[in-house]
Every structure is written in structure tokens, then in C-alpha cells.
Amino acid sequence: MNKPVNQKAWLLVLPVLICVAFSSILPLMTVVNYSVQDIISPERRVFVGTEWFASVMRDRELHAALARQIVFSLSVLAVEIPLGIALALSMPASGWRASAALVAVALPLLIPWNVVGTIWQIFCRTDIGLLGSAIKALGLEYSYTGDATQAWLTVLLMDVWHWTPLVALLAYAGLRAIPDAYYQAARIDGASRLAVFRYIQLPKIRGVLMIAVLLRFMDSFMIYTEPFVLTGGGPGNATTFLSQYLTQKAVGQFDLGPAAAFSLIYFLIIMLLCFILYNWMQRLGTPGRADK
């Protein structure tokens, strides 16, 4: 079942190409131009070669932001993936309760990201927030604006609240795709609940999980809005992640050159992650298509 070769298909892709060329290729070329120049004003520009790249690569704050980013993204995965699987396993398979559970779980996904920040801002304040005052009532010191560790944990908690549903939905979709015959066979064999999970469910949803892992990793790698609204990157730099740092440089300080060099490095990292994701999906897609 191979798709016919037809080079005229390029004509069909043309509208997309024009849209994306305007909004992606031209900007990217511009970023490359900026990255090799010292732009004092639009008329006064000096070619500086790879200097910005060198200075960005040596930038200690950037290293710190990158390290924070990686630790954050890994923590996100460590919490969200197991929790998402557990949720998917506990969701009913069919009926109105399944739809109700699905909608209820998915709800945080549908909230605008800045509102997510606002919600948590309200929720975590010790004077007016439910969580904040609950923690205070337990006799603990809590302030997401004052204490670096607590700010970081709050952002993590917010991300878990916001994005675990995506993992749960993906895992749930994977679980529903397992034919009933597998479960019947397991029941005949008298397999335990754990064995069913270990030998039937986990291998079957491995592919979807891999996609969930990569999507979550990449998305958390570009997190901007929620911490911007909640903590503004503070206290100090405790919750300043890569996108936030880049935006500070680009719009805040208007350092066009370094910001552009930084953008390109950021872009390369994303390209690599994307490449891995894409190949995973290709590998996954091939047997699936053969089944049809």
C-alpha cells in the first residue's frame, strides 16, 4: 500500500510554504544576520563574526538558566509520566463515566496559560489563597515570591497540575487501543493485575508514552507564560528558564546580537530533540500503517 509518487503535490503544499516562509524562514534568516553583527542602530552595524556565539557560550547566567531548565524538565517528566499512567489506568473504559472523567481530567489543559499563572498566583498567596493559607495553617513558612526553593516547587506543582492531563490522555488512548482479546487471554491464564500491566499494558503503550515523554520534555523546555505570570522568574533567578532569559535579553535589554546568537543555539537544541521525536514517531507509525 505505497502512496503514489506525484510531484504535483508540491502545488498543494505551496500555501503552507508561503505562510511558513513568511513567518519562519525570513525571521530565521534575520536572526542569523543579527547574530553576527553588533547592531548599535539600524544604520550603524558592525560585523563581529562569531563573537556573540563565543560570549553566549561563556555566559554564566545562561549556563545557570540551562541547568535550571534541564533539572526542571527532568523533574516534570519524573512526576508527570508515572502520575499520568496511574490516572489513565484508573479511568473507566467506557460509558458516561468515562466521558465525564475524561473531560474533568482534561480541564486544566484548556485553560489559557497566563490564566494558569493567575489561578496559581491567587491559589498560593498566604493571605488570600487556599493552598497558601493551608500551608501556613500547618505552621510552615511559605512564600513563592520570597524563597527560591519554594518558588521552584510551586512552578513545578503548577506544571504538574497543568500538563499531567496530557500524559494521562495519551496513555489512556494507548490503553484503549489494546484489543480485548489480550485481557481475556490474561484472565484465562489467571494473570495478576501487576502482570497484566507489566506484560500487556506497558509494552503496548510504550510508543505513546515515548511521544508523551518527548512532547513534555520539549514543551517544558520552552515554558514561558506560566512562570512569567506567577513568579516573573524570581526570586532572584530561581525560576528564570531559557525562554524567559532569552526574552529578557531580547526585549528587556534589546541586546540584538547576543539574543540572536542565543536564539540560534536554542533552536539547534530544539532541532535535535525534534529529530529524535520525529524518528520515534516514524518508527511507531510504520507498523501501525502496515496493520491497516
**CB closer to another protein, 167 vs 238:** 167
Query: Quick one: CA torsion of 61, 63, 67, 70, rounded to 10 degrees?
Result: 110
**CB closer to another protein, 9 vs 185:** 9
- Rounded to a whole number of angstroms, the minimum distance from the CB of residue 96 to another protein is 13
- Rounded to a whole number of angstroms, the minimum distance from the CB of residue 158 to another protein is 9
**What residues are paired with 47 via a beta bridge?**
37
Element (H, E) at 241: none
Cell of 159: 506544571
- Rounded to a whole number of angstroms, the minimum distance from the CB of residue 277 to another protein is 8
**CB closer to another protein, 112 vs 236:** 112
**CB closer to another protein, 238 vs 244:** 244
**CB closer to another protein, 152 vs 228:** 228
Dist CA 133 CA 48 (whole Å): 54
- Rounded to a whole number of angstroms, the minimum distance from the CB of residue 263 to another protein is 4
CA 194, 198, 204, 205 torsion-angle sign: positive
- Rounded to a whole number of angstroms, the minimum distance from the CB of residue 7 to another protein is 5
Dist CA 187 CA 71 (whole Å): 42
- The DSSP annotation for 223-251 comes to --HHHHHHTTT-STTTT--HHHHHHIIII
Q: Which residue shows C-alpha cell 553566549? A: 56
Contacts of 196 (CB under 8 A, 6+ apart): 183, 186
